[in-house]
A and B are shown apart, each in its own frame.
Chain A
Amino acid sequence: MSSQAVVHLSEVTKTFDVPGRGTMTALSGIDLSIGQGEFVSLIGPSGCGKSTLLRLIGDLTVPTSGTVEVNGKPARQARVDRDYGIVFQSPVLFDWRNVEENVRLPLELIGTDKAAREARVTEMLELVELSDFRRHHPYQLSGGMQQRVSIARALAFEPALLLMDEPFGALDEMTRERMNSEVLKVWTQTGITVVFVTHSIPEAVFLSSRVAVMSARPGRITKVVGIDLPRPRTVETRENRRYFELVTEVREALRGMDGRVEADDAALERATAEGGIG
């Protein structure tokens, strides 16, 4: 167990009780170490437990066995210490708060003093280029803008780790590519460690330092692909030959797990959703 690892999982398993179907193993034998400043994507078919894995790191659900450490502490302690920010697939903005009030939310909870709070909100809104929309309300923004507010909120209290659970899954392809570049900009500027769940191969390859490929039933990490594309990554990166090679490599790693039972996926997704809300 290295001391500089921001995330360290060892021998992690997670099982759910599915009513009428007994116990289902969502994750099995997960070992993963993520270093300071890395950008790691988790990719796999639906039902492979990649979101569950992210939620284990965030202590939004607890492992059945094994240990999860964040910043060298048990995941629970890391959550209590507010060591990470999280972005979900939906922006989860509070519709009674305007943009700046949404970004300010975690700072209010932490008890940051007012002047520091305002400065930080301004800084975050500049980072995601929404300074002109401070007083807009969520319903007045596009989906991509809402998700940028959500990213600003996750970064507001300067966490060491950013967890992103399919953050751009609901966006159209054009917006998604633009958001990918935005996220890399934020990552470069802040030096934050990112764990990114996706089921888009191009997105995973474009963004990451490493891509962890997962299989379903039970969910495990079958391969970790190092992405050695040069940075900064730009529009040209997506036309780079090495990029295509890596996309192919990830795709082939994923191909090992075709022909899974879709019904099992659905049952497990439900159990995951219910089990973790607590």
Chain B
Amino acid sequence: MTAGAAPSRRSRRRRIVAILGFIGLVLVLWEGVKFIGGDPWRVNGELMWTPPLDLKFATDINLPHVWSIAAALGDPWRRSADTSLFMFLVGKALYTWREAAIGFALGAVTGIALAAVFVHSQLLERAFVPYVVASQTIPIVALAPMIVFFVGNEILAVVVVATYLTFFPVTIAMIRGLRSPDPRALELMRSYAAKRRTIFWKLRMPASVPYLFTALKIAATASIVGAIVGEGPGGVQDGLGRAILDFNQTYITGPEKLWAAILVTALLGITFYLVVRIAELWWLRDRAPDVAT
């Protein structure tokens, strides 16, 4: 029903072309650098090309060929394994995503709750917001082992780390969002003798939804970083964090695997972000077209 809200087929096609074009450009640049200054190019052991320059960062160890990474994704993830590296990493990614999603949900609820308290009490806001801000300046790598120690359970610890990184953007955005209603809208509610709770649910919360989604898009990727970082000290074996640490240790013998793991991690982040974005578009479908962008 909302005319003009849905992008036309032509602009959608143009966007897909732009995305594919950008990926193509990155691949060309990547291989271009290797063409100028990488290790000699070999196909099936046969020398094909010797780059004129010797650039340290472009060696096969530091920057593997994109087709080596692609091939590694299709190969068994380790000798004599049944599953390909890709399926192996997807399994790990789903595991990590579960932890991240739980942390994301808890962080969102925590953030909304804190913002709701702060918006209703300036005293509490002044007293506690500095600590909320300070909490985010502590490096998560320093904090994660302590959280593992305090929480005990490994997976729960990972979830807590993800929550910790998620609640902050939500809190800050929701303080703003819950305060976003026009003063006249608040007066209107007052003219109906509406109670604070009614004003919160009928006015402040709906008005804050665009702000909430902006924060959730940040939180989606932050929760995945939190889960991956937490998996190390947490000793969680089944997630991407462990895989990244393992492939890091065996980098010299198989650099493609770490690059593949990074690729899958990025895909996971993008996917989570897109899920939130689609939820946003759906939720705000009836609002003015500029609100949902």
Q: Which residues in A have some Cβ–Cβ distance to B below 8 Å?
A: 55, 58, 60, 79-82, 84-86, 88, 90, 92, 94-96, 98, 105-106, 108-110, 135, 137-139, 273, 276-278
Contact A96 B287 (CB under 8 A): yes
Question: Chain B interface mostly helix, strand, loop or mixed?
Answer: helix
Question: Among A80, A110, A139, A277, which residue has its beta carbon within 8 angstroms of that of B186?
Answer: A277
Residue pairs across A and B with Cβ atoms less than 8 A apart, 8 shown, are: A79-B193, A86-B187, A88-B184, A92-B182, A109-B189, A137-B287, A276-B187, A277-B187
Q: Which residues in B have some Cβ–Cβ distance to A below 8 Å?
A: 1-2, 182-194, 198, 202-203, 206-207, 209, 286-289, 291
Contact A105 B202 (CB under 8 A): yes
Kindly list chain A residues whose C-beta atoms are within 8 Å of the C-beta of B291.
95
Contact B192 A82 (CB under 8 A): yes
Kindly list chain A residues whose C-beta atoms are within 8 Å of the C-beta of B209.
96
Please name the residue on chain B nearest to A139 by beta carbon: B288
Kindly list chain B residues whose C-beta atoms are within 8 Å of the C-beta of A278.
190
Kindly list chain B residues whose C-beta atoms are within 8 Å of the C-beta of A139.
287-289
Please name the residue on chain A nearest to B186 by beta carbon: A277
Kindly list chain B residues whose C-beta atoms are within 8 Å of the C-beta of A98.
286
Kindly list chain B residues whose C-beta atoms are within 8 Å of the C-beta of A138.
288
Tally of contacts, chain A with chain B, CB under 8 A: 64
Kindly list chain A residues whose C-beta atoms are within 8 Å of the C-beta of B288.
95, 137-139
Contact B202 A95 (CB under 8 A): no
Kindly list chain A residues whose C-beta atoms are within 8 Å of the C-beta of B2.
137
Contact A90 B184 (CB under 8 A): yes
Q: Given A79-B191, A109-B192: A277 and B286 within 8 A (CB)? A: no
Contact A96 B206 (CB under 8 A): yes
Contact B182 A90 (CB under 8 A): yes
Question: Among A60, A80, A94, which residue has its beta carbon within 8 angstroms of that of B203?
Answer: A94
Contact A86 B194 (CB under 8 A): no
Please name the residue on chain B nearest to A274 by beta carbon: B183
Q: Given A79-B193, A92-B182: A109 and B287 within 8 A (CB)? A: no
Minimum C-beta distance from A52 to chain B (A):
13
Please name the residue on chain B nearest to A81 by beta carbon: B193
Minimum C-beta distance from B260 to chain A (A):
44
Please name the residue on chain B nearest to A97 by beta carbon: B206
Please name the residue on chain B nearest to A84 by beta carbon: B191
Q: How far is the CA of A278 from the CA of B207 in the complex (A)?
A: 19
Q: Given A95-B291, A98-B286: A86 and B191 within 8 A (CB)? A: yes
Minimum C-beta distance from B5 to chain A (A):
10
Q: How far is the CA of A135 from the CA of B274 in the complex (A)?
A: 29
Minimum C-beta distance from A170 to chain B (A):
12
Kindly list chain B residues whose C-beta atoms are within 8 Å of the C-beta of A80.
193
Contact A96 B185 (CB under 8 A): no
Q: How far is the CA of A94 from the CA of B180 in the complex (A)?
A: 12
Give the one of B190, B198, B288 with max A CB within 10 A: B190
Please name the residue on chain B nearest to A153 by beta carbon: B188
Question: Among A92, A105, A109, which residue has its beta carbon within 8 angstroms of that of B184?
Answer: A92
